[in-house]
Amino acid sequence: MKPFLLVFFGGGIGSVLRYWISKSLNTYYSNFYLGTFLVNIIGCLLIGLLLGLSLKNNLIGQNQTLLLATGFCGGFTTFSTFALEGHLLLKETNLFYFSFHAISSIAIGILAVSLGLYICRLL
């Protein structure tokens, strides 16, 4: 039961924070959805750092990984909103912004995970 509660609480905190950031930033940049982009990139960096710390000499344990990586990062990041916003950009026939948003989100997200893991290797 404890693992479910850790994921539940971490996910709740991550979801609320994502909502606040997205609500604050997505209204200012209607063609790019900056809030969603930032939470996804920050979440990618965080999960890279957390899993890197978990793998390196067990610096964080299984409970912390469940709370922070699975729960918080899972609730904080959002693929479904990313996909919806991509759909909306395509519906508006805004191919440039759709392409920029999709390619930069995926490429920078993968780089952020890699950066997090790399930083942990240096520690």
Q: Is residue 69 over pLDDT 70? A: yes
DSSP 33: -
What residue spans define the domains of the chain?
A: 2-122
pLDDT at 79: 95
Cα gap 112→73, rounded to integer Å: 13
How high is the pLDDT of residue 15?
97
Task: Quote the pLDDT of residue 29.
Answer: 67
User: For tokens 């710390």, what's the residue?
Assistant: 53
Crossing angle between the packed helical segments 34-55 and 95-122, to the nearest 10 degrees: 20
pTM of the predicted model over 0.85: yes
pLDDT over 90 percentage in the chain = 80
**What is the pLDDT confidence band of residue 26, given thresholds at 50, 70 and 90?**
confident
Q: What is the mean pLDDT of the chain?
A: 93
32 against 100, higher pLDDT: 100
pLDDT per residue over 34-63, tens digit each? 999 999 999 999 999 999 999 887 888 899
The mean per-residue pLDDT over the stretch 66-92 comes to 94
CA–CA gap between residue 68 and residue 64 (Å, rounded): 6
